[in-house]
Amino acid sequence: VSVRRAAAVNAARLSGVATRALGRGGGTALPGLVATTLDPGVIADLAAQLVNGVTVVTGTNGKTTTCRILADLLRAAGYRPLRNQSGSNLSRGLASTLIRETGLLGNLAPDDKRIGLFEVDEAALPQVLREVKPARLTLLNLFRDQLDRYGEVATVSSLWKQAIRDLPEVTRLVANADDPLVVDVAMEHGGETVYFGLGSGAKDEEPDYARDVKTCPKCGGEIAYSAIILGHLGHYHCSRCDFRRPEPRVAAISVERHGLDGSNFDLVLEGEIVPVRVPLPGTYNVYNAVAAAATAWSMGVSGATIRDGLARTTPAFGRMERVMVDGREVYLALAKNPAGLNQVVRTLKGLSPSLHVLVLLNDLTADGRDVSWIWDADVEILQGHLESAVFGGTRGFDMALRFKYAGFERAGSEWPVVSSLEDALRVAIAGVPDGHPLFVIPTYTAMLQFRELLTREGHTQPYWDQ
C-alpha cells in the first residue's frame, strides 16, 4: 500500500505542476483525480493524519467566505489551517489539497498546528463525510441552487439527512438555527449540535419574496415567521406541530450595517457578549461571520481571539472584492442563484442611490444550464437606484430581458448587451462617471473568466496565487 500511495501522490503532484506550466488554470482538481484514481483510499488516510482533525463547511451560499473567516480565526488561535481552494470543493479538490502537504513517501509531514478546513459542495457532502470523518461539521444554509444541477432543495435535504444519521456521535455539528431546512437535517444527529443565528433586529428592510420554505419540514403545516431575516432564514415556528427555531448558543444581536465598510454587532457566545466588527458588507456576511465564530467557539477559541480575527478578515475571491481598473474602483459580487442575487442587489441598494452595474450571466455546466432562476430574484428592488447597466456572458440577453421586465429602461434605447467580456468591461466603465464605482455581478464561470481578463490586463494576480 505505501508504494502505491507514494506513486499515486507523486504522479498527482507532477500532474499539478504540468497543468500550471501549461497555463491551464490553477491545477486544483487534476492532481486529486490522478491520486484518487490510482489510490482510492488516499483521502481517508491523509485526512486521518491531521492531528487536529478536519472541519467541513457546507451549504448553498457562503461556504468560501465562511471558510476564509474561520481560517483567520484559527490562525489567530495559533493553528495552521489547511484549506481547499475556492471551487475545488469536491473530493478530488480535497485530495489535491492534502497531496500538496505530503512528502516523497506520500504521507503528511508532521505538524501539530495543522488543521483541516474544507468547504464541500452540498451534493458531495455524503461522500466527503465517509472519506474524511470530520471532527466538526458546519451547516450554513440550504437554498435552491441552479435547478438542473442538484434538483430541488428536498433532494439535497434528504441526502444530508442520511449522511448526518451516519455521522459518529463525537462529531460536533454546528448548524444555522435560522434555517428550518438545516434544523430539520441537524435533528438527525445523535451527538452535540451548536446552533447559531441572528437576532430578529437584523432583518432586511426589504422583505425577500424568493422564499424556498413555506411549510414545516416535519409535518407539512404552515410555517409562521415572527422575523424574516434573509430569504427563508429567520425566526419561525410551525403552526401545527412543535417544530420551531432552536435557541442559538452563538448569535449576532444589535446588528448595525455600514455599507461596504461592513457591520458591527454584539456576538453572544452562550452568555458572554463580545462587540465585534466585520469588514464585509451585507447581512449574508453577518451569517458567514457568526457561522465561523460558532465553529471556532465550539473548538474552544476565546471570544477575544474571535473578535480580533473577525476584525482582520477580508473578502473572499469574487465576494465584493475590490480591484482597481484604470483608476476606477470595480467591485466583484458573485451571484449564482436567486438567494445570492437577492442579497447582492439588497447590499448594492444600501450602498448608493446611483448604481452602475455590469451583469454577466453564463450557462456553462458549473453555472447550471437552466437560467430560469433569474426570474425568481427580485431585481425590482433596485428601482430608483440603478443609473446604468451593461449585460454580458453567454446568456446576457436573458438577463437584459429580466431587467427590462423589472421596469428598468434607459430613455430612448436599450441598455447594451455586449458579448465579448473585454468590450463589456470597456462599455460599462465608459458609462460610469468619475468617482463612482462599477459593480460587476457575475455567475460562477463568468467570474472566473472576468478574473482571467483582469489578470491578463495586469489588474489582479491569478487566483491560485492567493
Candidates 216, 316, 334, 348; binder of Zn ion (CB under 5 A) is 216
The interface region with Zn ion, picked from 17-25, 73-81, 89-97, 212-220 by CB under 5 A, is: 212-220
Could you tell me the smallest distance in angstroms from the CB atom of residue 243 to Zn ion? 4
Candidates 25, 126, 221, 462; binder of Zn ion (CB under 5 A) is 221
Could you tell me the smallest distance in angstroms from the CB atom of residue 162 to Zn ion? 21
Could you tell me the smallest distance in angstroms from the CB atom of residue 188 to Zn ion? 16
Q: Are 328 and 433 in contact (CB under 8 A)?
A: no
Which amino acid belongs to residue 49?
A: Q
Could you tell me the smallest distance in angstroms from the CB atom of residue 239 to Zn ion? 8
Q: Give yes or no for residue 225 binding Zn ion (CB under 5 A).
A: no
Could you tell me the smallest distance in angstroms from the CB atom of residue 157 to Zn ion? 15
Q: Are 264 and 277 in contact (CB under 8 A)?
A: yes
Which residue's CB is nearer to Zn ion, number 238 or number 293? 238
CA atoms 106, 112, 118, 124: torsion sign: positive
The interface region with Zn ion, picked from 44-52, 168-176, 232-240, 423-431 by CB under 5 A, is: 232-240
Could you tell me the smallest distance in angstroms from the CB atom of residue 221 to Zn ion? 4
Candidates 67, 173, 233, 238; binder of Zn ion (CB under 5 A) is 238
Could you tell me the smallest distance in angstroms from the CB atom of residue 177 to Zn ion? 16
Please tell me the count of residues contacting Zn ion according to CB under 5 A: 8
Could you tell me the smallest distance in angstroms from the CB atom of residue 247 to Zn ion? 18
Cell 430578529 -> residue: 200
The interface region with Zn ion, picked from 188-196, 216-224, 334-342, 345-353 by CB under 5 A, is: 216-224
Which residue's CB is nearer to Zn ion, number 170 or number 219? 219
The interface region with Zn ion, picked from 63-71, 113-121, 234-242, 263-271 by CB under 5 A, is: 234-242
The interface region with Zn ion, picked from 209-217, 304-312, 390-398, 399-407 by CB under 5 A, is: 209-217
Which residue's CB is nearer to Zn ion, number 238 or number 390? 238
Which residue's CB is nearer to Zn ion, number 167 or number 238? 238
The interface region with Zn ion, picked from 52-60, 173-181, 220-228, 347-355 by CB under 5 A, is: 220-228
Which residue's CB is nearer to Zn ion, number 243 or number 444? 243
Candidates 17, 18, 224, 241; binder of Zn ion (CB under 5 A) is 241
Write the CA distances from 230 to 233, 382, 461, integer angstroms: 5, 17, 33
Rg (CA), the chain: 22
Which residue's CB is nearer to Zn ion, number 183 or number 421? 183
d(CA 284, CA 261): 14
Residue 233: which of 343, 107, 119 has the closest Cα? 343
Q: Give yes or no for residue 53 binding Zn ion (CB under 5 A).
A: no
Could you tell me the smallest distance in angstroms from the CB atom of residue 140 to Zn ion? 23
Q: Give yes or no for residue 243 binding Zn ion (CB under 5 A).
A: yes
Candidates 154, 219, 224, 324; binder of Zn ion (CB under 5 A) is 219
Residue 394: which of 440, 442, 360, 428 has the closest Cα? 360
Could you tell me the smallest distance in angstroms from the CB atom of residue 219 to Zn ion? 3
Which residue's CB is nearer to Zn ion, number 170 or number 241? 241
The interface region with Zn ion, picked from 159-167, 219-227, 252-260, 421-429 by CB under 5 A, is: 219-227
Instruction: Give 328's contacts (C-beta < 8 A, 6+ positions apart).
Output: 429, 432, 437, 438
Q: Are 216 and 240 in contact (CB under 8 A)?
A: yes
Candidates 20, 114, 149, 218; binder of Zn ion (CB under 5 A) is 218
Q: What is the grid cell recorded at 444?
A: 460562477
Residues that bind Zn ion (CB under 5 A): 216, 218-219, 221, 238, 240-241, 243
